Amino acid sequence: MSKALYALTIHEALAGMRRGAFSAVELTQALLERIAQTDSQVKAYLTLTAELALEQAAAADARRAAGDDAPLLGIPMAIKDVLCTAGVRTTCGSRILENFTPPYTATAVRRLAEAGMVMLGKTNTDEFAMGSSTENSGYFTTHNPWDLERVPGGSSGGSGAAVAAQEALAALGTDTGGSVRLPAAYCGVVGLKPSYGRVSRYGLVAYGSSLDQVGVLAKDVRDAALILSVMAGHDDHDSTSMPAPVPDYAAALTGDVRGLRIGLPDEYFIAGVQPDVEAAVRQAINLLGEMGAEIVRVSLPNTEKALPVYYLVATAEASANLSRFDGVRYGFSAGAGSILENYRESRGQGFGAEVKRRIMLGTYVLSAGYYDAYYLKAQQVRTLIKQDFEAAFGQVDVIACPVAPTTAFRIGEKANDPLAMYLSDVFTITPNLAGMCGASVPCGFDAGGLPIGLQLMGPPLGEEVVLRTAHAYEQATTWHTHWAQPVAVGA
């Protein structure tokens, strides 16, 4: 039996439209119908742009009829709601930006649109991308399609759930400390976090400016490579974007890992990792060895310091970045009496508890008397973490480990324990601190049927070798062919 249109990968959908089997409008209608059937339970979308999507799909069909064959022509995708979209509200999952409509579009989104992407809508996120579960959204919690009582991961939980529930062919997310890879692992899809500077951050509402990166959630590695090829590259609007040329990432997908050296870090297989997770990841690494890769033990001795370093650097940057939301220039205003009262009330009412927690922590570590003891020291240790990886990548091409210590946890399970929540990111924060790239690829299920992700980390601008390894593993297994079925279609 042939696949439903909403169940296609991007490369399958492009092949179908090129041969005239269906149009972009028909494909988009199929996705919109799927969203109507399932999203009342999954809650992946904050804003649905159905009318705009159909207009863009019709324009894509016209372009194809005129001989255009752009790389994403007619492909319906979702966009995380921290990326600016001109004329479409961008809330960042926060009440403080509930009615904010940007006057411009983020470079990554604009490049996808120019390549023919159809925007289905904006997906839910932890407020200002601060969270690991999407429970910190100012609007509602997104549910994991594999088990509606569990979180989809965060902060790009809406994007991960949309792809896993087949409510989009792919989605953009952002990753500051694991926010693409964690939802990918929890939702059983592919997640790609590019190197810092590989994709423009222009139009991304900043959380941690030295850590944030726009990433991809997709149904398979080939789709992720295609999207990265479109949105990567230097941007004059972003001084941190690298002027390095963009490779043909799809050409790296040879299916062959012979000769590759894959690092197995001692510090990432520790007490507290769920046994099912460790077993699945080790089995995946063993398979790569059987396929011809060389497995090499490596040490990253400063890993244990990464979590406190991350939560000092990220919160300090968040404190500075979020100072612009003052109830004066844009966003929510409480309309209180004096300027100081309005400032206090607007931020007090507009921000949620987790954002306030991180602003306060960041302000504290930047304050006089504490800057050197905390923020400066964290930056120095960050350098040591980066040097650990530089030494490791002198020995290996890719480093493999779990994405998260456990599979998806229950909604509310960690809501009152911020430290337990922060530990969800313990394996994903280091690539952000070191400016590296990383990916999550499905590698199995736990005893309860929840997905497990294999993390593959590469050096800065090492996306080709990461994608090559992820694709070879994916093609040698069937995990990426399994899809969540808990949603009663039509309910």
pLDDT tens profile 457-470? 999 999 999 999 99
Given a cut of 90, whether residue 339 has pLDDT beyond it is no
Given a cut of 50, whether residue 374 has pLDDT beyond it is yes
Catalytic residues: 80, 155, 179
Q: What is the signed CA dihedral for 223, 226, 228, 234, rounded to 10 degrees? A: -170
Q: What is the mean pLDDT of residues 337-353?
A: 90
Q: Which amino acid is at 240?
A: T
User: How confident is the model over 102-139, as pLDDT tens digits?
Assistant: 999 999 999 999 999 999 999 999 999 999 999 999 99
Q: pLDDT value at position 491?
A: 41
- When pLDDT is cut at 50, 70 and 90, the band that residue 487 belongs to is low
The whole-angstrom separation of Cα 229 and Cα 71 is 9
Q: pLDDT value at position 485?
A: 82
Which 3 state secondary structure label does DSSP give 158?
A: helix
The whole-angstrom separation of Cα 34 and Cα 23 is 17
The whole-angstrom separation of Cα 59 and Cα 90 is 24
Q: What is the mean pLDDT of residues 411-432?
A: 92
Place of tokens 């964690």: 182
Decide: 6 and 31 in contact? Cβ < 8 Å: yes
pTM of the model: 0.97
CA-angle at 122, arms to 250 and 453, nearest 5°: 50
Place of tokens 């497995």: 295
Which 3 state secondary structure label does DSSP give 252?
A: helix
- When pLDDT is cut at 50, 70 and 90, the band that residue 418 belongs to is confident
Higher pLDDT, 272 or 473: 473
User: How confident is the model over 44-90, as pLDDT tens digits?
Assistant: 999 999 999 999 999 999 999 999 999 999 999 999 999 999 999 99
- Angle between helical axes of 377-392 and 306-321 (0-180°, round to 10): 120
Q: What is the mean pLDDT of residues 29-37?
A: 97
Q: What is the mean pLDDT of residues 139-166?
A: 98
Q: What is the DSSP letter of 107?
A: H
Query: Which residues contact residue 59 at a Cβ distance below 8 angstroms, ignoring those fewer than 6 apart?
Result: none
Q: Taken in order 288, 293, 297, 302, is the CA torsion positive or negative?
A: negative
User: How confident is the model over 210-260, as pLDDT tens digits?
Assistant: 999 999 999 999 999 999 999 999 999 999 999 999 999 999 999 999 999
Place of tokens 């939980």: 157
Q: pLDDT value at position 330?
A: 82
Given a cut of 90, whether residue 489 has pLDDT beyond it is no
Q: pLDDT value at position 336?
A: 81
Q: pLDDT value at position 488?
A: 46
The whole-angstrom separation of Cα 73 and Cα 112 is 9
Given a cut of 50, whether residue 175 has pLDDT beyond it is yes
Decide: 100 and 195 in contact? Cβ < 8 Å: no
Closest Cα partner for 228 from 242, 247, 241, 211? Answer: 247
- When pLDDT is cut at 50, 70 and 90, the band that residue 486 belongs to is low
- When pLDDT is cut at 50, 70 and 90, the band that residue 329 belongs to is confident
How many Cβ atoms sit within 10 Å of the Cβ of residue 284?
Answer: 24
The whole-angstrom separation of Cα 361 and Cα 358 is 5
Sorted by where each begins, the domain ranges of the chain are: 5-301+386-481, 303-385
The whole-angstrom separation of Cα 242 and Cα 155 is 25
5-301+386-481: CATH class:
alpha beta
Q: Taken in order 241, 242, 248, 249, is the CA torsion positive or negative?
A: negative
Query: What is the distance between the terminal CA atoms of the chain, rounded to a whole angstrom?
Result: 24
How many Cβ atoms sit within 10 Å of the Cβ of residue 377?
Answer: 15
261 class by beta-carbon count within 10 Å (0-12 exposed, 13-18 middle, 19+ buried): middle
CA-angle at 229, arms to 228 and 233, nearest 5°: 90
Q: Which residues of 98-136 are buried (b: 16+ CB within 10 A; e: fewer)?
A: eebebeebbbbbbbbbebbbbbbbbbbbbbbbbbbbbbb
Q: What is the mean pLDDT of residues 154-167?
A: 98
Q: What is the mean pLDDT of residues 436-448?
A: 98
Which tokens belong to 385? 């973490």
